[in-house]
Structure 1
Amino acid sequence: MEHKVICALVLVSMLAFSTLVETQSETCAMAPRERKNCGFPGVTAAQCTSKGCCFDDTVPGFPWCFTPKTIDVPSEDECEF
């Protein structure tokens, strides 16, 4: 019985830890309407990227220098039963 309790506690701990281990990543791939301005009028690609922002001047009417989108990346460790 004691081994089952220990095993259950280890499993619960691992599951709790794995939810905390999810990481976040950034991407510049998003719809133009999702872009949040990160630059100023006349900003160059070099100035934009040096601020950690995305630069894409191919879509008129939307910010060219914009904040990257944050996405959650689940951990690769999954408990299989």
Structure 2
Amino acid sequence: MEPKVVCVLLLVCVLAAGSLAQGMEGTCEMEPKERENCGYPGVTPQDCADRGCCFDNSVRGFPWCFHPRALGPDEEDCVF
């Protein structure tokens, strides 16, 4: 492959990965009372992420490791 083609493919991959990461971030934004526990006592942020869950220990009395919010039908991810 020519170097230009490799550079374009690499750029597309980087942009797509960034778009996917932003989409996952948005699903973790929810009210603390909406959180459904996904962890266990003493779960670390890495263990939580390995389970595919969100981690936020800033709100006491609510799960710190919780399932991401499911996207509704009107909130589908658009990937170009």
TM-score by length of 1: 0.58
CA shift in 2, pair 1:75/1:50, >3 Å? closer
Partner of 1:40: 40
Unaligned runs of 5+ in 2: 1-22
Name the structure with the higher strand share.
1
Partner of 1:30: 30
CA RMSD of aligned residues (A): 1.9
Higher relative contact order (CA 8 A, sep 6+): 1
Name the structure with the higher helix share.
2
- What amino acid does structure 2 have at the position aligned with 1:34? E
Partner of 2:60: 60
Once residues 35 and 61 of structure 2 are traced to their aligned partners in structure 1, the CA distance between those partners, rounded to angstroms, is 11
- What amino acid does structure 1 have at the position aligned with 2:63? P
CA shift in 2, pair 1:61/1:71, >3 Å? same
Once residues 71 and 44 of structure 1 are traced to their aligned partners in structure 2, the CA distance between those partners, rounded to angstroms, is 25
TM-score by length of 2: 0.59
When Rg is computed on C-alpha atoms for both structures, the one with the higher figure is 1
Unaligned runs of 5+ in 1: 1-24, 77-81
CA shift in 2, pair 1:42/1:29, >3 Å? same
Task: Count residues with an aligned counterpart.
Answer: 52
Deviations 1:21-46 (A, max 9, x none): xxxx7500000000000000000000
- Tell me how far 1:74 sits from its aligned partner: 4.7
